[in-house]
Structure 1
Amino acid sequence: MAEATSWQKEQFSRAYVLAVATRGGYTLADWNVDKDGVDVTLRWKGLMVDFQLKCTQSPRAAKGDYVFDLDLATYNKLRDPERSAPGYLALAVVPKTLDKWLLHEPERLLMSCHTYWAKLQDEPPPTASKTTAIHLPRCQTLTINSLERMFEASRQHILNGTIEGGLA
Protein backbone atom coordinates (compact mmCIF):
# COMPACT_ATOMS: atom_id res chain seq x y z
CA MET A 1 0.00 0.00 0.00
CA ALA A 2 1.75 3.15 -1.22
CA GLU A 3 1.84 6.30 0.86
CA ALA A 4 0.51 9.39 -0.89
CA THR A 5 3.09 11.97 -1.82
CA SER A 6 3.46 15.10 0.31
CA TRP A 7 2.09 17.36 -2.43
CA GLN A 8 -1.06 15.20 -2.70
CA LYS A 9 -1.61 15.47 1.05
CA GLU A 10 -1.03 19.22 0.96
CA GLN A 11 -3.48 19.76 -1.90
CA PHE A 12 -6.13 17.54 -0.32
CA SER A 13 -5.98 19.42 2.97
CA ARG A 14 -6.28 22.71 1.04
CA ALA A 15 -9.28 21.34 -0.89
CA TYR A 16 -11.02 20.40 2.36
CA VAL A 17 -10.51 23.84 3.89
CA LEU A 18 -11.55 25.54 0.64
CA ALA A 19 -14.76 23.47 0.47
CA VAL A 20 -15.76 24.23 4.08
CA ALA A 21 -14.80 27.91 3.79
CA THR A 22 -16.71 28.31 0.53
CA ARG A 23 -19.80 26.73 2.03
CA GLY A 24 -19.52 29.06 5.03
CA GLY A 25 -19.20 32.17 2.85
CA TYR A 26 -15.57 32.88 3.76
CA THR A 27 -12.80 33.76 1.34
CA LEU A 28 -9.50 31.94 1.28
CA ALA A 29 -6.06 33.34 0.52
CA ASP A 30 -3.54 30.71 -0.48
CA TRP A 31 0.09 31.60 0.27
CA ASN A 32 2.71 30.41 -2.19
CA VAL A 33 5.50 30.90 0.37
CA ASP A 34 5.16 29.45 3.87
CA LYS A 35 7.65 31.76 5.61
CA ASP A 36 5.19 32.84 8.31
CA GLY A 37 4.01 29.32 9.16
CA VAL A 38 0.75 29.93 7.31
CA ASP A 39 -0.56 27.95 4.34
CA VAL A 40 -3.97 29.64 4.04
CA THR A 41 -5.79 32.60 5.54
CA LEU A 42 -9.57 32.77 5.78
CA ARG A 43 -11.33 36.14 5.77
CA TRP A 44 -14.79 37.24 6.78
CA LYS A 45 -16.01 40.82 7.29
CA GLY A 46 -12.48 42.12 7.86
CA LEU A 47 -11.58 39.34 10.30
CA MET A 48 -8.89 36.76 9.54
CA VAL A 49 -7.73 33.35 10.78
CA ASP A 50 -4.49 31.68 9.69
CA PHE A 51 -3.94 27.96 9.19
CA GLN A 52 -0.94 25.71 8.91
CA LEU A 53 -2.27 22.65 7.05
CA LYS A 54 -1.10 19.10 7.57
CA CYS A 55 -2.42 15.78 6.32
CA THR A 56 -1.76 12.22 7.43
CA GLN A 57 -2.74 8.70 6.49
CA SER A 58 -1.36 7.35 9.76
CA PRO A 59 -2.54 9.55 12.63
CA ARG A 60 -0.99 9.16 16.06
CA ALA A 61 -3.53 8.99 18.86
CA ALA A 62 -3.22 9.60 22.59
CA LYS A 63 -6.00 9.84 25.18
CA GLY A 64 -8.72 10.38 22.60
CA ASP A 65 -6.82 13.09 20.72
CA TYR A 66 -4.82 13.05 17.55
CA VAL A 67 -1.24 14.15 18.06
CA PHE A 68 0.93 15.83 15.46
CA ASP A 69 4.60 16.72 15.89
CA LEU A 70 4.97 20.27 14.57
CA ASP A 71 8.36 21.81 13.92
CA LEU A 72 9.31 24.49 16.46
CA ALA A 73 9.78 27.32 13.96
CA THR A 74 6.19 26.96 12.73
CA TYR A 75 4.85 26.44 16.25
CA ASN A 76 6.52 29.62 17.49
CA LYS A 77 5.19 31.64 14.56
CA LEU A 78 1.63 30.43 15.13
CA ARG A 79 1.69 30.88 18.93
CA ASP A 80 2.99 34.45 18.82
CA PRO A 81 0.60 36.60 20.91
CA GLU A 82 1.24 39.61 18.66
CA ARG A 83 -0.24 37.98 15.57
CA SER A 84 -2.99 40.03 13.94
CA ALA A 85 -4.81 36.82 12.96
CA PRO A 86 -5.09 33.84 15.32
CA GLY A 87 -2.89 30.92 14.27
CA TYR A 88 -4.30 27.39 13.97
CA LEU A 89 -3.02 23.97 13.02
CA ALA A 90 -5.44 21.94 10.87
CA LEU A 91 -4.77 18.22 10.47
CA ALA A 92 -6.60 16.28 7.75
CA VAL A 93 -6.85 12.57 8.49
CA VAL A 94 -7.36 10.55 5.31
CA PRO A 95 -7.71 6.84 4.51
CA LYS A 96 -4.51 4.84 4.16
CA THR A 97 -5.33 4.01 0.54
CA LEU A 98 -5.21 6.95 -1.86
CA ASP A 99 -7.99 5.39 -3.98
CA LYS A 100 -10.40 5.84 -1.04
CA TRP A 101 -9.83 9.56 -0.56
CA LEU A 102 -12.62 10.50 -3.01
CA LEU A 103 -15.88 8.83 -3.88
CA HIS A 104 -17.39 9.83 -7.22
CA GLU A 105 -21.14 9.43 -7.53
CA PRO A 106 -23.44 10.67 -10.30
CA GLU A 107 -24.69 13.66 -8.28
CA ARG A 108 -21.84 14.29 -5.86
CA LEU A 109 -18.19 14.02 -4.98
CA LEU A 110 -17.42 12.88 -1.43
CA MET A 111 -14.15 13.51 0.38
CA SER A 112 -13.25 10.70 2.77
CA CYS A 113 -11.52 12.57 5.54
CA HIS A 114 -11.94 14.57 8.69
CA THR A 115 -9.95 17.64 9.60
CA TYR A 116 -9.20 18.55 13.19
CA TRP A 117 -7.90 21.84 14.54
CA ALA A 118 -5.95 23.30 17.43
CA LYS A 119 -5.51 26.98 18.24
CA LEU A 120 -1.83 27.69 18.78
CA GLN A 121 -1.87 31.44 19.39
CA ASP A 122 -0.90 32.29 22.99
CA GLU A 123 0.29 28.74 23.71
CA PRO A 124 3.35 28.41 25.99
CA PRO A 125 6.92 28.18 24.72
CA PRO A 126 7.97 24.70 23.61
CA THR A 127 9.97 22.44 25.89
CA ALA A 128 11.43 20.27 23.11
CA SER A 129 14.30 21.14 20.79
CA LYS A 130 13.03 20.19 17.29
CA THR A 131 9.28 19.50 17.36
CA THR A 132 6.42 19.85 19.78
CA ALA A 133 3.45 17.53 20.10
CA ILE A 134 0.19 19.28 19.27
CA HIS A 135 -2.96 17.62 20.60
CA LEU A 136 -5.99 17.91 18.35
CA PRO A 137 -9.12 16.76 20.18
CA ARG A 138 -11.37 14.57 18.05
CA CYS A 139 -14.30 16.79 19.03
CA GLN A 140 -12.60 19.75 17.29
CA THR A 141 -13.47 19.01 13.69
CA LEU A 142 -13.08 21.77 11.14
CA THR A 143 -16.65 22.67 10.20
CA ILE A 144 -18.63 25.76 9.32
CA ASN A 145 -19.63 26.04 12.99
CA SER A 146 -16.06 25.80 14.23
CA LEU A 147 -14.98 28.44 11.70
CA GLU A 148 -17.71 30.73 13.05
CA ARG A 149 -16.27 30.30 16.54
CA MET A 150 -12.75 30.98 15.23
CA PHE A 151 -13.86 34.25 13.66
CA GLU A 152 -15.56 35.22 16.91
CA ALA A 153 -12.30 34.47 18.75
CA SER A 154 -10.51 36.67 16.21
CA ARG A 155 -12.98 39.47 16.94
CA GLN A 156 -12.47 39.07 20.68
CA HIS A 157 -8.69 39.10 20.23
CA ILE A 158 -8.97 42.44 18.44
CA LEU A 159 -11.39 43.88 21.02
CA ASN A 160 -9.19 42.77 23.92
CA GLY A 161 -5.99 44.09 22.30
CA THR A 162 -4.00 46.85 23.90
CA ILE A 163 -4.57 50.30 22.50
CA GLU A 164 -1.28 52.16 21.99
CA GLY A 165 -1.00 55.36 20.01
CA GLY A 166 -4.60 55.07 18.81
CA LEU A 167 -4.14 51.57 17.38
CA ALA A 168 -5.78 48.46 18.72
Structure 2
Amino acid sequence: MGEPATWQQEQISLAYVLGVATQANATIATWNVDKDGVDVTLKRDHTLVELQMKCTFDPQLLADGTTHTFDLDVATYNKLRGPRRTAAGYLGLVVVPRDVDTWLEHSLDSVLMRCSGFYAQIQDLPEAEGGVTKRIHLPQHQRLNSFGLDVMLEFSDERLWGPRASIGEAIA
Protein backbone atom coordinates (compact mmCIF):
# COMPACT_ATOMS: atom_id res chain seq x y z
CA MET A 1 0.00 0.00 0.00
CA GLY A 2 2.95 2.32 0.59
CA GLU A 3 2.97 5.73 2.25
CA PRO A 4 -0.01 6.46 4.50
CA ALA A 5 -2.60 9.13 3.87
CA THR A 6 -3.14 11.82 6.51
CA TRP A 7 -6.44 10.27 7.61
CA GLN A 8 -4.68 6.92 8.18
CA GLN A 9 -2.07 8.61 10.36
CA GLU A 10 -4.83 10.28 12.36
CA GLN A 11 -6.68 6.99 12.85
CA ILE A 12 -3.62 5.01 13.99
CA SER A 13 -2.69 7.75 16.48
CA LEU A 14 -6.21 7.59 17.95
CA ALA A 15 -6.09 3.76 18.05
CA TYR A 16 -2.74 3.94 19.82
CA VAL A 17 -3.94 6.33 22.52
CA LEU A 18 -7.13 4.28 22.96
CA GLY A 19 -5.00 1.19 23.63
CA VAL A 20 -2.84 3.07 26.13
CA ALA A 21 -5.87 4.52 27.93
CA THR A 22 -7.54 1.12 28.14
CA GLN A 23 -4.42 -0.50 29.60
CA ALA A 24 -4.06 2.37 32.10
CA ASN A 25 -7.68 2.05 33.31
CA ALA A 26 -8.66 5.40 31.80
CA THR A 27 -11.57 6.31 29.57
CA ILE A 28 -11.23 8.31 26.40
CA ALA A 29 -13.45 10.80 24.60
CA THR A 30 -12.72 11.96 21.07
CA TRP A 31 -13.85 15.27 19.63
CA ASN A 32 -15.33 15.49 16.16
CA VAL A 33 -13.96 19.04 15.85
CA ASP A 34 -10.71 20.06 17.53
CA LYS A 35 -11.49 23.78 17.72
CA ASP A 36 -9.86 23.85 21.15
CA GLY A 37 -6.70 22.13 19.90
CA VAL A 38 -7.76 18.81 21.43
CA ASP A 39 -8.29 15.46 19.72
CA VAL A 40 -8.87 13.33 22.83
CA THR A 41 -9.66 13.76 26.51
CA LEU A 42 -8.50 11.02 28.88
CA LYS A 43 -10.13 10.55 32.27
CA ARG A 44 -9.30 8.46 35.31
CA ASP A 45 -10.65 8.96 38.83
CA HIS A 46 -12.20 12.32 37.87
CA THR A 47 -8.87 13.70 36.63
CA LEU A 48 -8.57 14.78 32.99
CA VAL A 49 -5.79 15.35 30.48
CA GLU A 50 -6.22 16.50 26.91
CA LEU A 51 -4.04 15.65 23.94
CA GLN A 52 -3.54 16.90 20.45
CA MET A 53 -2.45 13.74 18.62
CA LYS A 54 -0.01 13.78 15.72
CA CYS A 55 1.53 10.97 13.71
CA THR A 56 4.66 10.81 11.59
CA PHE A 57 6.53 8.24 9.54
CA ASP A 58 9.49 10.61 9.20
CA PRO A 59 10.46 11.53 12.77
CA GLN A 60 12.88 14.39 13.26
CA LEU A 61 15.49 13.90 16.00
CA LEU A 62 17.73 16.41 17.71
CA ALA A 63 21.48 15.85 17.50
CA ASP A 64 21.32 13.96 20.83
CA GLY A 65 19.48 11.16 18.98
CA THR A 66 16.99 10.73 21.83
CA THR A 67 14.62 13.66 21.41
CA HIS A 68 11.94 13.87 18.73
CA THR A 69 10.84 17.27 17.47
CA PHE A 70 7.52 18.29 16.01
CA ASP A 71 6.52 21.65 14.57
CA LEU A 72 3.10 22.38 16.09
CA ASP A 73 1.05 25.24 14.71
CA VAL A 74 1.10 28.25 17.04
CA ALA A 75 -2.69 28.45 17.38
CA THR A 76 -2.89 24.87 18.70
CA TYR A 77 0.17 25.38 20.91
CA ASN A 78 -1.38 28.44 22.54
CA LYS A 79 -4.68 26.62 23.10
CA LEU A 80 -2.93 23.68 24.80
CA ARG A 81 -0.77 25.89 27.04
CA GLY A 82 -3.54 28.20 28.26
CA PRO A 83 -3.36 28.89 32.01
CA ARG A 84 -7.14 28.67 32.53
CA ARG A 85 -7.49 25.12 31.23
CA THR A 86 -9.05 22.67 33.69
CA ALA A 87 -7.45 19.66 31.96
CA ALA A 88 -3.71 19.86 31.31
CA GLY A 89 -2.80 20.10 27.63
CA TYR A 90 -0.30 17.78 25.93
CA LEU A 91 1.01 16.92 22.50
CA GLY A 92 1.07 13.22 21.66
CA LEU A 93 3.26 12.01 18.79
CA VAL A 94 2.93 8.52 17.35
CA VAL A 95 5.82 7.34 15.17
CA VAL A 96 4.97 4.70 12.56
CA PRO A 97 6.85 2.95 9.74
CA ARG A 98 6.52 4.57 6.32
CA ASP A 99 4.73 1.52 4.86
CA VAL A 100 1.17 1.34 6.20
CA ASP A 101 1.09 -2.40 5.48
CA THR A 102 3.61 -2.94 8.28
CA TRP A 103 1.68 -1.06 10.96
CA LEU A 104 -0.22 -4.12 12.20
CA GLU A 105 0.86 -7.73 12.42
CA HIS A 106 -1.85 -10.31 13.04
CA SER A 107 -1.34 -13.77 14.51
CA LEU A 108 -3.71 -16.32 16.01
CA ASP A 109 -3.29 -14.93 19.51
CA SER A 110 -2.30 -11.29 19.08
CA VAL A 111 -2.24 -8.10 17.10
CA LEU A 112 1.03 -6.19 17.19
CA MET A 113 1.03 -2.44 16.52
CA ARG A 114 4.34 -1.32 15.04
CA CYS A 115 4.40 2.20 16.38
CA SER A 116 5.55 4.08 19.43
CA GLY A 117 4.20 7.15 21.16
CA PHE A 118 5.74 10.06 23.00
CA TYR A 119 4.29 13.08 24.79
CA ALA A 120 5.22 16.64 25.63
CA GLN A 121 3.58 18.79 28.27
CA ILE A 122 2.42 22.02 26.64
CA GLN A 123 0.37 23.18 29.61
CA ASP A 124 1.75 26.31 31.31
CA LEU A 125 4.57 26.86 28.78
CA PRO A 126 5.21 30.45 27.68
CA GLU A 127 3.03 31.92 24.96
CA ALA A 128 4.43 31.53 21.44
CA GLU A 129 5.36 34.84 19.90
CA GLY A 130 5.42 35.22 16.13
CA GLY A 131 5.91 32.50 13.59
CA VAL A 132 3.53 29.93 12.22
CA THR A 133 4.81 26.92 14.17
CA LYS A 134 6.43 26.20 17.51
CA ARG A 135 9.04 23.44 17.68
CA ILE A 136 8.14 20.96 20.41
CA HIS A 137 10.68 18.57 21.95
CA LEU A 138 9.47 15.09 22.83
CA PRO A 139 12.22 13.16 24.67
CA GLN A 140 12.09 9.42 24.04
CA HIS A 141 11.88 8.77 27.79
CA GLN A 142 8.48 10.54 27.79
CA ARG A 143 6.69 7.52 26.39
CA LEU A 144 2.99 7.67 25.72
CA ASN A 145 2.25 4.51 27.70
CA SER A 146 0.60 3.62 31.02
CA PHE A 147 3.42 5.12 33.08
CA GLY A 148 3.44 8.28 30.96
CA LEU A 149 -0.31 8.62 31.39
CA ASP A 150 0.15 8.27 35.17
CA VAL A 151 2.63 11.17 35.06
CA MET A 152 0.28 13.32 32.97
CA LEU A 153 -2.72 12.65 35.20
CA GLU A 154 -0.73 13.35 38.37
CA PHE A 155 0.44 16.68 36.94
CA SER A 156 -3.11 17.61 35.94
CA ASP A 157 -4.46 16.71 39.38
CA GLU A 158 -1.73 18.56 41.31
CA ARG A 159 -2.05 21.58 39.04
CA LEU A 160 -5.68 22.01 40.08
CA TRP A 161 -5.65 20.75 43.67
CA GLY A 162 -2.05 20.92 44.87
CA PRO A 163 0.11 17.99 45.99
CA ARG A 164 -1.77 15.15 47.63
CA ALA A 165 -1.00 14.61 51.28
CA SER A 166 0.16 11.16 52.25
CA ILE A 167 -2.15 9.24 54.59
CA GLY A 168 0.08 10.01 57.59
CA GLU A 169 0.10 13.74 56.81
CA ALA A 170 -3.68 13.82 56.32
CA ILE A 171 -4.30 12.28 59.76
CA ALA A 172 -1.86 14.52 61.63
1:54 matched residue in structure 2: 54
Q: Shift of the alpha carbon at 1:92?
A: 0.2
Partners in 2 of 1:159 and 1:136 — Cα distance?
Answer: 26
TM-score when normalising by structure 1: 0.92
Partners in 2 of 1:127 and 1:3 — Cα distance?
Answer: 34
Q: Shift of the alpha carbon at 1:127?
A: 3.8
Q: Shift of the alpha carbon at 1:3?
A: 2.2
Identity in percent: 48
Partners in 2 of 1:13 and 1:6 — Cα distance?
Answer: 11
Could you say what secondary structure the match of 1:21 adopts? helix
2:79 matched residue in structure 1: 77
Could you say what secondary structure the match of 1:43 adopts? strand
Q: Shift of the alpha carbon at 1:128?
A: 4.1
Number of positions where the alignment pairs a residue of Structure 1 with one of Structure 2:
160
Question: Structure 1: where are the runs of 5+ without partners?
Answer: 161-168
1:121-166, CA deviations, whole angstroms, 9 ceiling, x for partnerless residues?
0111224410010000011111111111111111101114xxxxxx
Contact 2:91 2:119 in 1 (8 A): yes
Q: 2:161 aligns with which of 148, 153, 159?
A: 159
Question: Structure 2: where are the runs of 5+ without partners?
Answer: 163-172
Let me know the Cα RMSD of the aligned residues.
1.1
Runs of 4 or more above 6 Å deviation: none
1:104 matched residue in structure 2: 106
Equivalent AA in structure 2 for residue 149 of structure 1? V
Contact 2:2 2:101 in 1 (8 A): no
TM-score when normalising by structure 2: 0.90
